[in-house]
């Protein structure tokens, strides 16, 4: 018995002795991972500041597959099946004295495609996104004059309060709405902003300097024109205030007047626990529905005949309509962030509107002129960056450092809740080095022949991109 006790004690001691080095080894293994060649504490210090300029040379090639047997035949020119862009993207700021700055943002494109001849003037295009002078008369006041990109909104997939968005996206390299904003035109305007501890006030006036023009297609985009017809074809005023009411609640209220229309809007966000942010973006104002709006614009710019309004039932009388994005983001322990949103666009197509749209072409014997007018409606919605349908769900996933450091995976889907058709896109972006980034993007549309996405001419596309920052 005593022998057994001695053995047990010896076993415990041996176990403890054996366990002690194991614990130490665990602690030491942390320290062993510290690289021997880390920068010395005496290494030259980094400058306290540096330019915020970002310049890069990009190359992108997109190959697209087209869908045959469309419910409504697509008018010419058909979408390109391949396109290539070589572009220089520039975002610079120069200080012009103590209180003045000059800002420039733009992209110079050299593009080739099977839809445009080469070499022609159509191969070169410059997108002048921003060019403005900024004056800071006091510590808390900023005045800007020139082409400025003011973007509002807290949602990712649809921003009802982003009032300056119509017609500003020229030739997107992605279907991701949150990235689309990176290459859009600003608006010629005079802006002023004042900040204080508990909020800010922003005022912007964008004058009408030209008349509205027809919607551009791949063949008739202007190459070195600043495109004020897209951005300054009517007088517009924006008044916005942000209120820092609490740490978790900073509402933003907006008033917008364009031509003869007025809209009001609000942006609300709040954290929910440690993983979730909930948000709501709303705008409302008096307007006709999307079909009437598109017909009116088509007739005004000479793209559609006057009789086109009889093609589809529409509501030309203005009434108060709502736009809404309601969503939440959720971040997991693995650093994956999901955004789920519901979009409501009251002026958009109802199920009946979609049914009318699909039936109109067949009823009139698929006449090319009718098909052009029907597709014009959808081009108009895209040009205005309005959802085509009333009810849409949007899901986005973003995973930084996925599997390996510097690999970012993004996936998104926009689902028409009326016909269950959808668009999806997946992107993988890898930072090869400080200067080089490569990316691959695949996208596709899915749905029945008589659905929003299943009726589109583009069925799938692959885009490869390389960027060299300098």
Partner 1 sequence: MRCAMFKTMTRRFLLIALVLAAAAGAARAQTAHDIIAGADRVRNPGEPFRTTSVLTEYVRGQPRDQTVLTVYSKEDNASGQFRNLVRYVEPPRDAGKMALLDGQNLWFYDPAAKSSVRISTKQRLVGQASIGDVLTINFAVDYTGTLLGDETITDAEHQTRDCWHLDLRAATPTAVYSRAEYWVEHGSFWPIKTKFYSDSGRVLKVLYYRGFTQRLGAVRPGAAVIIDAVDSTLVTTVRFDNPAFQDIPDFWYQRDYLPRLRPE
Cis peptide before 119 (omega within 30 of 0): yes
Asked if residue 5 binds partner 1 (CB under 8 A), the reply is: no
Query: Which of 252, 316, 324 shows the shortest CA–CA distance to 286?
Result: 316
**E strands in 273-351:** 276-287, 319-331, 336-345
Q: Of 13 and 276, which CB lies nearer to partner 1 in the complex structure?
A: 276
Could you tell me the smallest distance in angstroms from the CB atom of residue 284 to partner 1? 21
Site string for partner 1, 247-276 (x = CB under 8 A): xx-x------------------x-x-xxxx
DSSP-assigned letters across all residues of 215-230: PP-TTT--SS---HHH
Tokens standing for residue 233: 């074809």
Q: Using CB under 8 A, which of 384, 431, 459, 466 touches partner 1?
A: 431
Q: Of 38 and 120, which CB lies nearer to partner 1 in the complex structure?
A: 38
Stretch near partner 1 under the rule CB under 8 A, chosen from 167-175, 226-234, 327-335, 439-447? 327-335
Asked if residue 98 binds partner 1 (CB under 8 A), the reply is: no
Q: Is 87 exposed, middle or buried (0-12, 13-18, 19+ CB in 10 A)?
A: buried
Stretch near partner 1 under the rule CB under 8 A, chosen from 48-56, 255-263, 299-307, 365-373? 48-56
Q: Using CB under 8 A, which of 5, 17, 18, 47 touches partner 1?
A: 47
Q: Using CB under 8 A, which of 61, 86, 145, 179 touches partner 1?
A: 179
Query: Which of 77, 142, 88, 145 shows the shortest CA–CA distance to 116?
Result: 77
Stretch near partner 1 under the rule CB under 8 A, chosen from 220-228, 239-247, 377-385, 411-419? 239-247
Query: Which of 55, 20, 44, 59 shows the shortest CA–CA distance to 463?
Result: 59
Tokens standing for residue 348: 């958009």
Which DSSP helix (H) or strand (E) runs through 11? helix 2-32
Asked if residue 97 binds partner 1 (CB under 8 A), the reply is: no
Could you tell me the smallest distance in angstroms from the CB atom of residue 322 to partner 1? 22
Q: Of 256 and 279, which CB lies nearer to partner 1 in the complex structure?
A: 279
Could you tell me the smallest distance in angstroms from the CB atom of residue 268 to partner 1? 10
Q: Which of residues 129-148 bind partner 1 (CB under 8 A)?
A: 139-140, 142
Q: 341: which strand partners?
A: 327, 394
Asked if residue 178 binds partner 1 (CB under 8 A), the reply is: yes
Asked if residue 27 binds partner 1 (CB under 8 A), the reply is: yes
Q: Using CB under 8 A, which of 66, 71, 143, 151 touches partner 1?
A: 151
Q: Using CB under 8 A, which of 37, 69, 97, 365 touches partner 1?
A: 37
Could you tell me the smallest distance in angstroms from the CB atom of residue 470 to partner 1? 7
Phi, psi for residue 301 in degrees, rounded to 5:
-95, 5
* Three-state SS at 247: coil
Q: Which residues contact 458 (CB under 8 A, 6 or more apart)?
A: 64, 65, 66, 67, 79, 445
Q: 51: which strand partners?
A: none
Q: Which DSSP category does 39 fall into?
A: P
Q: Of 1 and 31, which CB lies nearer to partner 1 in the complex structure?
A: 31
CA dist 213 and 317 (Å) reads 23
Tokens standing for residue 132: 């403005």
Number of residues that bind partner 1 (CB under 8 A): 77
Asked if residue 22 binds partner 1 (CB under 8 A), the reply is: no
Asked if residue 307 binds partner 1 (CB under 8 A), the reply is: no
Q: Using CB under 8 A, which of 154, 204, 206, 415 touches partner 1?
A: 154
Could you tell me the smallest distance in angstroms from the CB atom of residue 27 to partner 1? 7
CA dist 22 and 10 (Å) reads 18
* Residue found by looking up tokens 């108060």 in the block: 320
Asked if residue 302 binds partner 1 (CB under 8 A), the reply is: no
Q: Which of residues 49-68 bind partner 1 (CB under 8 A)?
A: 49-56
Tokens standing for residue 117: 């001849």
Count of CB atoms situated within 10 Å of the CB of 264:
15
Could you tell me the smallest distance in angstroms from the CB atom of residue 109 to partner 1? 17
Could you tell me the smallest distance in angstroms from the CB atom of residue 282 to partner 1? 16
Q: Which of residues 340-399 bind partner 1 (CB under 8 A)?
A: none
Site string for partner 1, 182-221 (x = CB under 8 A): x----------x-xxx-xx-x-------------------
Q: Of 108 and 318, which CB lies nearer to partner 1 in the complex structure?
A: 108
Tokens standing for residue 385: 């960056």
Could you tell me the smallest distance in angstroms from the CB atom of residue 309 to partner 1? 37
Contact criterion met (CB below 8 Å) for 187 and 231:
yes
CA dist 52 and 70 (Å) reads 47
């Amino acid at each position: 018995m005593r022998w057994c006790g001695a053995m047990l004690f010896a076993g415990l001691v041996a176990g403890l002795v054996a366990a002690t080095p194991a614990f130490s080894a665990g602690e030491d293994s942390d320290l062993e991972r510290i690289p021997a060649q880390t920068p010395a504490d005496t290494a030259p210090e980094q400058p306290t500041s540096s330019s915020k300029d970002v310049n890069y040379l990009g190359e992108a090639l997109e190959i697209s597959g087209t869908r045959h047997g469309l419910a409504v035949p697509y008018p010419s020119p058909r979408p390109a099946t391949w396109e290539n862009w070589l572009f220089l993207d520039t975002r610079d700021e120069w200080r012009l004295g103590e209180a003045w700055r000059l800002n420039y943002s733009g992209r110079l494109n050299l593009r080739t495609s099977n839809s445009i001849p080469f070499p022609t003037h159509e191969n070169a295009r410059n997108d002048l996104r921003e060019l403005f002078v900024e004056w800071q008369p006091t510590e808390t006041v900023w005045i800007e004059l020139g082409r400025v990109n003011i973007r509002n909104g807290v949602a990712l997939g649809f921003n009802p309060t982003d009032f300056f968005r119509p017609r500003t996206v020229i030739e997107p390299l992605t279907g991701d709405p949150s990235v689309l904003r990176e290459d859009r035109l600003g608006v010629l305007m005079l802006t002023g902003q004042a900040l204080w501890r508990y909020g800010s006030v922003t005022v912007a006036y964008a004058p009408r300097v030209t008349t509205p023009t027809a919607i551009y297609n791949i063949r008739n985009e202007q190459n070195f024109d600043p495109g004020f017809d897209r951005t300054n074809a009517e007088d517009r005023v924006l008044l916005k205030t942000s209120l820092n009411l609490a740490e978790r609640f900073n509402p933003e209220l907006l008033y917008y007047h364009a031509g003869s229309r007025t809209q009001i809007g609000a942006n609300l966000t709040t954290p929910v626990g440690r993983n979730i942010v909930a948000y709501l973006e709303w705008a409302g104002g008096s307007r006709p529905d999307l079909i009437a709006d598109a017909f009116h614009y088509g007739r005004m710019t000479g793209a559609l005949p006057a009789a086109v309004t009889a093609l589809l039932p529409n509501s030309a009388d203005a009434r108060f309509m709502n736009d809404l994005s309601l969503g939440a983001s959720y971040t997991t322990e693995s650093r994956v962030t999901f955004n789920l949103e519901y979009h409501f666009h009251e002026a958009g197509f109802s199920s009946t509107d979609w049914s009318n749209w699909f039936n109109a072409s067949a009823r009139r014997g698929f006449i090319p002129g009718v098909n052009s007018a029907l597709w014009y409606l959808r081009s108009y919605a895209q040009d205005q960056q309005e959802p085509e349908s009333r009810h849409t769900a949007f899901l986005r996933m973003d995973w930084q450092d996925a599997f390996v450091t510097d690999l970012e995976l993004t996936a998104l889907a926009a689902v028409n809740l009326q016909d269950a058709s959808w668009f999806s896109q997946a992107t993988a972006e890898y930072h090869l080095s400080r200067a080089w980034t490569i990316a691959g993007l695949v996208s596709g549309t899915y749905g029945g022949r008589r659905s929003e996405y299943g009726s589109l001419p583009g069925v799938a596309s692959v885009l490869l991109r390389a960027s060299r920052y300098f």
